[in-house]
Chains A and B, each alone.
Chain A
Amino acid sequence: MTILGGIGFGAPWLLVALAALPILWLLLRAVPPAPVKRRFPGVALLLGLQDDETVSDRTPWWLMLLRMLAVAAIIIGLAQPVLNPDDPRAESNGPMLIVLDGSWAGAAGHTARINSVKAELSRASAAGQTVAVLQLSDPVDALFLPAATWATRLAGLSPQPWQPSVENIDKAAQIIANAGATSSLWFSDGLGYDGRETVLAALENAGPVQVFQSGRETLALTPASYIDGAIDLTVLRSSATQARDVIVLAQGRDPAGNGATLATATASFDAGETSADVALVLPSELRARITRFEVQGTRSAGATTLVDDGLRRREVALISAREGREGLELLSPLHFLKQALEPTADLLTGALTDVLPANPDVIVLADVATLSDIETNALLDWIETGGMLLRFAGPRVAASDVSRAEEHPLMPVRLRSGGRSVGGAMSWGEPKSVASFADTSPFFGLSIPDDVVVRSQVVAQPDPTLANRVIAELSDGTPLVTRKVIGQGQVVLFHVTANAEWSTLPLSGLFVDMLERLAISSSARLPDAADLKGTVWTPLQVMNGFGTLRDAGAMPGVAGPELIDGATRPDLLPGLYQSGDRSLARNVLQTGAVLTPAMWPARIPVSGLTVRPPQPLGGMLLALALVLLLLDIVASLALSGRLLGQSARGTLTMLALGLMLGHPDALRAQDTADISAAAEVVLANVITGNADVDEVAFAGLLGLSDTLYFRTSIEPARPVSINLETDELAFYPLLYWPITPDQPTPSAQAYARLNAYLRSGGLILFDTRDANIAGFGAASSNGRKLQALAAPLDIPALEPLPRDHVLTRTFYLLQDFPGRHTSREVWVEASPNAEQIEGMPFRNLNDGVTPVIIGGNDWAGAWAITSSGGPMLPVGRGFSGERQRELANRFGVNLVMHVLTGNYKSDQVHVPELLERLSQ
C-alpha cells in the first residue's frame, strides 16, 4: 500500500489516468450536443437564414466540471483509497504483555479503554503475536494466548474499587519478571499511586513499553459531612487545569420508594485548583432520604460517596409531666435532654396524642408515671412498628404504683416502691458511681468520667428477666439503665431523672455518648478510629469499581478502627457497614484525600486512547461519481430543454415544496386544528370523495353554524371536513355524513374509531339525500350504500322519530324535519321504555342522545350558504320554499341543541311537580 498525504492507495498506478482528464476536457468541448427537434409553423420564415458561427453552443463550463469530477472520482475510487491506513508498527513478533491499572479511576473511561485494547489486540493478531493481559489491581499469572482469544475475554475485565496495593505491586512485578514478554503496553487509569515505578522498571527490563492514557481528568468525591445546617462535599480532580463546573447529584428514594435524583449542586473548580467545595442546604425530610452523592457523568466508585446516619436527624418527641413552670429552667426535667439532643436531632414538643401521629423516631417520657389506656395502646402500637420509648425516672414514678406488682407493658422492669437515696443528708453511704459497661452492653467501650455519681434512683425488682435487661449498672450492681424489646422497637428506662436532681449523669459528656450509642442522637462529625474502638462492623452493601451497590452477602466483618483508617482492598470494600443499630458508610476516598495524576518518564511513549480504524474510501467515491453522473443527466436534459414541459415543471415545484414542507408540518397543522376543534364547538362533515357533495355539506354546516350563532347561545367555530381514516373524531359533537353511492368504505381502524365515537356520546347524522323515494333502506342506490356503510357500526335498534321525541322540542317546537326534501321519515334510536310519567313520556337512555339520525332530506343542501351569505341552493318554490328552508334551519338548531344538552328538555315533565312544590 502506498501512502500519499495520509491516504493509502491499494492500486496507486491507476492515478496516472488522472493525467488524461485535460484531453477528455478538449474532446467533450468539441462534440456538440444532440439537436432538439421542434414543431414550429414559423419555420417558413426561417428558411434561408444562416448561422453566424459554425461552432455549436458549447457545453457550459460547470457541466464540463461536473463530468470531470465524476470521472476523477471514478479513477480515484478505483485506486482503492484508504483513510487512516494501518502503519505497521516496527515490533518484534514476540509475546506481548498488556498491563491495566484496573482501579476505580478507570471506571469512567472503561469502555474507551477496552476498545483501545481491542484495537491493539487486533493489531497484534495481525502480527501473529501472543498476548497476556495483567490487571495490576488484581494480578493473576500471565497467560499467553493468541490475541483473538483475549479479545473475547476482555468483557471479563472490570475496574476494582481500590488502587493497586503494595502486595498487588509485588506480585505483579514477580509475574512480569517470570512472563518473558518482549514488549508491553500499559493502559493507565491516569492516577498515580505508590509502586508504579517498580512495575515500570520490571516491564522495561523485559522490553519496550508503550503507555496509553486518556486525556480526561479523574473526578472523585470525598465523604459528605453535615455542618451548620448544610451538607458539605468536596469534589477532587486529578489535574489542575482550567476552570470547570461539575454537577453533583444527590440520589435517594422518593416518597414512593423509587430511586430518584433529589437535588443537584454545582461545584466550580477554579483554574489551577484540584478541589472544589460544594454546600447543599436541604430540608431535613429530603436530607434523610439521601443515600448517595454522585458526580454527574462519571461512573466510578471514587466519584460516588455513600451516606450513613451522619446526615440523618432523628425526630425526638420530648414529653414531661411538669410543664409551664417559668423561671425554673435548670430544674426542668427536659432541659439537659434538650441541650444534648438539639445539635443532632429535630425536637418535637406537645401532648403525647398530638406527637404520636407525627411518628417520631424517639419519644422521651421524663418522669411521666401514669398514662391513659388510649395513650398506652397507641404507644405500644408505635413501639411495635419500630419506635423507641426512652423513659426517665423521677419523683412521680417513684411515688406511683406503676409497674409495681406486675410489669407495666411500657416499663422494662418491675420497680420497688419508693426508690432509694444514697449519700444524701438523711442516709448513710457515699453516692454511687457507674460501673464499667459489660461487653454485651451497647455502651461497651465508653469511658466513664469519675465525677458521674448517682444519689437517688428507682430500684428494679429482682426478676428472672432482669439480668438480660440491664445495660448499665451502678458500682454496687443495681441497674441504672434497663431495656426491653417490644416488637421492632424497645423501651429504655434510665433509673434516674433527666435533670441533675438525682445524679450528675446528665451533666457529663457520658450522657451524650450514651444517647448516641442508643441511636437516639447521631454524631455531627465523622467518627475517628478511637471512637469505634472495640466495635465490629459487618458489611450490608458493597460497591464495585463502577460505584454500583450490591448486597454484601456473607462477607466477614471489619474492626472499627480498620474501617476508618485502612485503604480499600479486596477484604475492605467500600459500602455500607452496620454495627448494632448504627450504620456507617465507607467510601473509597477519605476526607482530605488528594488525587495525583500519573506522571511518566520522558523515555516512555504515551498516547491517547482514540482508536482510528482504517476506513476505505473507494465505495464512497464511486457512489459520489454515480451521483454526479445522475446530476449530469438532469443538467443536460435541462439545458437542452427536454427535461420537463411547462406544466410538469409546475408539478415538480409543487413536489419540491411538498417535500420541503414535509410531514412534520402537516402533523403540526393537524395538531393546531385539533386544538381549535377541542377548544370550541365545531361541527364536522365526513368527506365522501365527491367534491360537489362535500362542498354542499361543508357549506351546509357553515350555514347551520351561522344560524346557531345568531339565534342561540351556541357559538360554533368554523366547521371542518374530516377524513375518517386520518382525523381524530372525539372533538366533534356532530358528524354530518352525506351518502353517495360511490364513496369508499372506511377501513377497519376507522370503524373502530367511529364506534368509540358513538359510544362516547357522539352523534352521526346520515343523509341519503334522496328524499326517501324508495323508503328507508330500500332500493335506492344511496339507501343500499347506507346499509353497507352502517353495517359495521355499533348502532342500536331504530324507530321512526316519534312525535314526542325530545328532538321535537329542544329549541323550537317542530313536527316536521324538512331539508331540501320534505319526507317525514327520520329514524332515531328506539326507546323501549318510554314510560309515561304524569301523562308525559319520559325517556332516559344514553342521556337521551340518539347515536345516529338517519334521513334523506338533504338537510345540508337547505342549510348551505355561499361565501357571501346567501343561500347556495334553491329550496321549494317561492315563499313556501323559504318557509321550508326556515324549518330546515330550525331542525338544525334543534339537532345541535339535542346533541349538546341531551335529555335536558325531557326533564320538563317534572316542571308541573316543581311548580306545585314552589307554591306550597
Chain B
Amino acid sequence: MTQNNAINAGELRARSESQAARLPPLLARAEHLAGAVLLGDHGRRRAGMGDDFWQYRPAQLGDSRRMIDHRRSAMGDQQFVREREWQIAQSVMLWCDQGASMRFASTDDLPTKAERARTLTLAAAILMIRAGERVGLTGTRLPPRRGNDQILRLANMLSQDQDVEYEPPEHRAMIPNAAALFVSDFMGDISAVQTALTKAADRGVRGTLLHVLDPSEEAFPFHGRTIFESVGGTVRHETLKANDLKDRYLQRLAERKAELQSLCALTGWQYGVHHTNSSAQSGLLWLYQALNGGVRV
C-alpha cells in the first residue's frame, strides 16, 4: 500500500467519523439470536450488549452521556455506567462497489459516486462497530471483526480502486444468518446482483441495497450528436440525437430500479436510492433506519 493510499484512508476515516459522530450507536437487528453461530461468550459473565444487568462501572472517556446511569451516579460524586451482559454480536458484511463507473461526478461541485459510497459504507461500519457488532467485507479479504482497529482496516480496503468497469457484487464466503450492506450504482450486469442476492437469501443473510446515483444519471441532460463513453473507456455508444434517447434511457433506468426492488422484496432485503447531490447525512440516516429495522435503540 502506498503512502498516498494511506493518506486517503486517513481522510476517509476522519470524514466517516464525523458523519458517524452525530448518531447514537447503532445496534443492528439481531433477528437470529438463537441461530447465531458465533454466539461468543453469551451468558458467560461478561459485559456486552444485552438486556440483563451485568455491573456498574465508572464512566470513561468515550462513553456517551446517555449511557450514564443517573440513579447510581446520584449516590456519589462519580458517574457510573450500567453495563449489561453481552448477549449477542452480529456479523455485518459490507460490499462497496470499487469499479471505474463509480468514479464519476457530473460537475466539479459534486463528490464522485465512489467517494459518497465509501463514506456512507464506512460511516455505517463505524456505527455498527461502536454498537459492538462485528463488521467485515464480503469475500475472504477481511472477515468480520470487532474493535476500532477494524475501522482502520476497513478504511484501507475501501480506498482501493478497481480497474473493472462495472464490478459484480462479491458474494463468496458469506457467513450464514449475518447482515449485509451492498452499496453500488448497479449499472453493470443485473444477473450478478441477482446471483449474489439469491445466494445470500439461501444462506439466510438479510441486508440492504443502497443504489448511489449521480443527478445527471437521473436527468440525462444531453443534446445533439454525442459519443457516450464509460469512465474506464471500454464501453461506448454513439448517437446523433442525444435528446431523443432521453425517454428510453429513463425508462430503462426505471426498469433497473424496479428490478432491484423486486429482487429485494423476494429476498427480504431493503432497497434505497441515494443521489450524490443530496447530503451524506440523509443517506446515513436512511442506512441507520434500514439496518436498525426502523427501531431506535
What does the 1/0 interface line of A28-64 toward B look like (CB < 8 Å)? 0000111111111111111101011111110000000
**Contact yes or no, B231 A39, CB < 8 A:** yes
Least distance between B185 CB and chain A CB atoms (Å): 6
CB contact list, B77-96 vs A, under 8 A: none
Contact between chains at A33 and B227 (CB < 8 Å):
no
User: B187 touching A45 by the CB < 8 A rule?
Assistant: yes
Given contacts A46-B245, A46-B249, contact A38 B226 (CB under 8 A): yes
Residue A84 is within 8 A (CB to CB) of chain B in the complex: no
What does the 1/0 interface line of B213-241 toward A look like (CB < 8 Å)?
01011001011111111110001111111
Residues 346 to 377 of chain A near chain B (Cβ within 8 Å): none
B163, CB-defined interface residue at 8 Å: no
Contact status A41-B237, CB under 8 Å: no
Q: Please tell me which stretch of B65-73, B101-109, B115-123 contacts chain A, meaning at least 4 of its Cβ atoms lie within 8 angstroms of it.
A: B101-109
Known: A41-B104, A45-B187, A57-B225; 10 extra A-B contacts, CB below 8 A, are: A34-B225, A36-B225, A39-B230, A40-B230, A41-B113, A43-B229, A44-B166, A45-B249, A46-B245, A57-B240
**Given A47-B237, A646-B107; A56-B188 close (CB under 8 Å):** no
Instruction: Decide yes or no whether A639 CB sits under 8 A from chain B.
Output: yes
Whether A35 contacts B241 by the Cβ 8 Å rule is: no
The answer to the question of B296 belonging to the interface, with a C-beta cut-off of 8 Å to chain A, is: no
Residue of A nearest to B186 (CB): A44
Are A35 and B223 within 8 A (Cβ)?
A: no
CA distance A44 to B113 in the complex (A): 16
Q: Does B248 contact A (CB under 8 A)?
A: yes
Interface of A is mostly: loop
A2 at the interface (CB under 8 A from B): no
A281 to B235, CA, bound (A): 97
Given A38-B222, A40-B228, A44-B235, A54 and B240 touching (CB < 8 A)?
yes
**Set B108, B185, B236, B253: member contacting A43, Cβ < 8 A:** B236
B244 CB within 8 Å of chain A: yes
**Bound Cα distance from A55 to B224, whole angstroms:** 11
The CA-CA distance from A146 to B222 in the complex, in Å, is 74
Does A726 belong to the interface (CB within 8 Å)?
Answer: no
A35-B225, A36-B225, A38-B229 in contact; A43/B220 too (CB < 8 A)?
Answer: no
A713 at interface by CB-CB < 8 Å: no
| B220 with A42: CB separation less than 8 A | yes
Distance of B9 from chain A, by nearest CB (Å): 24
Which chain B residues lie closer than 8 Å to A639 at the CB level?
A: 224
CB distance A641 to B188 under 8 Å? no
Between A36, A640, A645, the greatest number of chain B beta carbons within 10 A of the residue's beta carbon is seen for A36
Q: Given A41-B217, A44-B166, A56–B240 Cβ distance below 8 Å?
A: yes
Q: Does A440 contact B (CB under 8 A)?
A: no
Decide if B217 touches A35 in the complex (CB within 8 Å): no
Which of the listed residues A36, A38, A41, A53 has the most CB atoms from chain B within 10 Å of its own CB? A41
Query: Which residues of chain B are within 8 angstroms of A40 by Cβ–Cβ distance?
Result: 104, 216-217, 222, 228-230
How far is the CB of B214 from the nearest CB of chain A, in Å? Answer: 7
B228, A641: Cβ atoms closer than 8 Å: no
A49 to B248, CA, bound (A): 8
> Is B256's beta carbon under 8 Å from chain A?
yes
A41-B187, A41-B214, A646-B107 known; A46-B228 Cβ under 8 A: yes
List 18 contacting pairs A-B, 8 Å CB cutoff, sorted by A.
Answer: A35-B226, A35-B238, A37-B227, A38-B227, A38-B228, A41-B102, A41-B185, A41-B231, A42-B228, A44-B235, A45-B249, A51-B240, A52-B241, A52-B244, A54-B240, A55-B240, A57-B223, A646-B107
B45 within 8 A of A: no
Which of A49, A52, A53, A641 contacts B237, CB < 8 Å? A49
Contact assessment for B228 and A43 in the assembled complex, using a CB-CB cutoff below 8 Å: yes
Give the size of the chain A interface in residues (CB under 8 angstroms). Answer: 30
A646 (CB) vs chain B CBs: closest residue: B107
A-B interface, 5 closest residue pairs, ranked by CB to CB distance from nearest? A41-B101, A56-B240, A35-B225, A43-B228, A45-B252
Closest Cβ of chain A to B20, distance in Å, is 28
| B97-137 interface bits toward A, Cβ cutoff 8 Å, 1 = contact, 0 = none | 00001101001110001000000000000000000000000
Give the chain A neighbours of B235 by CB distance below 8 A. Answer: 43-44, 47
By beta carbon, the residue of chain A nearest B251 is A45
Q: In the complex, what residue of chain B is closest to A32 when comparing beta carbons?
A: B225
- Within 8 Å CB of A55, what residues of B? 240
In the assembled complex, the Cα of A425 lies from the Cα of B238 at a distance in Å of 143
Q: Which of A621-648 contact B (CB under 8 A)?
A: 639-641, 645-647
Q: Which residue in A47, A57, A647 is a CB contact (below 8 Å) of B241?
A: A57
Provide the bound-state CA to CA distance between A57 and B226, in Å: 11
Residues of A within 8 A of B244 (CB): 51-53
Shortest CB–CB separation between residue B193 and chain A, in angstroms?
A: 13
B108, B240, B241, B249: the one within 8 Å of A42 (CB): B249
Partner among A37, A38, A49, A56 whose Cβ is within 8 Å of the Cβ of B249: A49
Distance between Cα atoms of A52 and B188 in the complex (Å): 25
Most chain B CB atoms below 10 A, which of A35, A38, A44: A44
Cα of A646 to Cα of B221 in the assembled complex, Å: 13
A188 to B198, CA, bound (A): 110
- Contact between chains at A640 and B187 (CB < 8 Å): no
CA distance A719 to B240 in the complex (A): 60
| Residues in A whose Cβ lies below 8 Å from that of B245 | 46, 49, 51
CA distance A470 to B214 in the complex (A): 121
Contacting A641 at CB < 8 Å: which of B102, B109, B224? B224
- Contact of B248 with A641 in the complex, beta carbons under 8 Å: no
**Interchain nearest-CB distance for A31 vs B (Å):** 11
- Tell me if A35 and B214 are in contact (CB < 8 A): no
Q: A41-B104, A43-B237, A51-B240 are contacts. A35–B252 as well, Cβ < 8 Å?
A: no
Q: What are the interface flags for A10-44 relative to B under an 8 Å C-beta threshold, 1 for contact and 0 otherwise?
A: 00000000000000000000001111111111111
Known contacts A41-B231, A49-B245, A641 near B238 by CB under 8 Å: no
CB B186 to nearest CB in A, in angstroms, measures 10
Complex: chain B residue closest to A55, CB-CB: B240
Residue-wise, chain A 640-684 has the 8 Å CB interface mask toward B (1 for contact) of: 110001110000000000000000000000000000000000000
Q: Are B240 and A43 in contact (CB under 8 A)?
A: no
Please encode chain B, from 198 to 224, with 1 for each CB lying within 8 Å of some chain A CB and 0 for all others: 000000000000000010110010111
**Nearest A residue to B216 by beta-carbon distance?**
A40
Q: How far is the CA of A35 from the CA of B239 in the complex (A)?
A: 9
CB pair A51–B241 under 8 Å, yes or no, is yes
Bound-complex Cα distance A826 to B252 (A): 75
Query: What separation, in Å, do the CA atoms of A446 and B78 have in the docked complex?
Result: 136
The answer to whether A33 touches B224 (Cβ under 8 A) is yes
Known contacts A39-B104, A46-B249, A646-B107; is-contact A53 B241 (Cβ 8 Å) = yes
List CB contacts (< 8 Å) of A718-771 with chain B.
none
B220 CB to nearest chain A CB (Å): 7
Closest residue on chain A to residue B188 by CB atoms: A44
Given the complex, which residues of B lie within 8 Å of A32, measured CB to CB? 225, 240
- The answer to whether A44 touches B227 (Cβ under 8 A) is no
Query: A47: shortest Cβ distance to chain B, in Å?
Result: 6
**Inter-chain contacts of B113 with A (CB < 8 A):** 41
- A36 and B222 alpha carbons, distance in the complex (Å): 10
